[in-house]
Amino acid sequence: MKKSTSILATVAGLLIAGGLVAADKPAAHAEHGDAAVQIHHAAVVLTAMQDSKVAGTLTFTVTNTGVVLAGEVSGLTPGKHGFHIHEFGDLRDPAGKSAGGHYNPEGHPHGGPDSDHRHVGDLGNIVAGADGVAKVNIKIEGLNLHHVIGRSIVVHAKEDDLTSQPAGDAGDRIAVGVIGIAAAPQAAK
């Protein structure tokens, strides 16, 4: 038993030393040469699901008081639409089902953005005007941006009622976009 444990410890040490496994590095950092780089910006380009005409671009920006999600979504029917971070950045299913459920690492019940207990991915609703455009400007407290890189944003066909379990009865997924690391706005071209 001691020999097996010793071999495993040696292999783990070699993997860590070789950079194949991260050792005690905060997940907020991505390696860039020898310097660790903080993730401060992310971007999402929404892809229409099924027969929807929904499109949009969103950005996440880390601030001193939380993460701000901003942008615009067009091609919506006027009114409220469920808006969530989902667990996977997988767009292979034409109905958006491969994005999985709401991002919920703590196992809380579904709720609204102001609920004491909710999924981390519960962002409530966006509201489209008569022109079918929803302006998005949401401050998300307690979100670690690095934990959602590679996950997705989903726009639903109906309003999230903020109470129905497990996901607010918001209907079909009409647009999905993968959350990716982005350059700072002044550096984007």
State the DSSP code for 31.
E
74 strand-pairing partners: 55
> Pick from 16, 37, 18: which is nearest to 28 by CA?
37
Helices (H), the chain: 2-17, 145-148
Give dist(CA 120, CA 110) in Å, integer.
9
Residues marked as catalytic: 84, 86, 102, 110, 119, 122, 156, 173
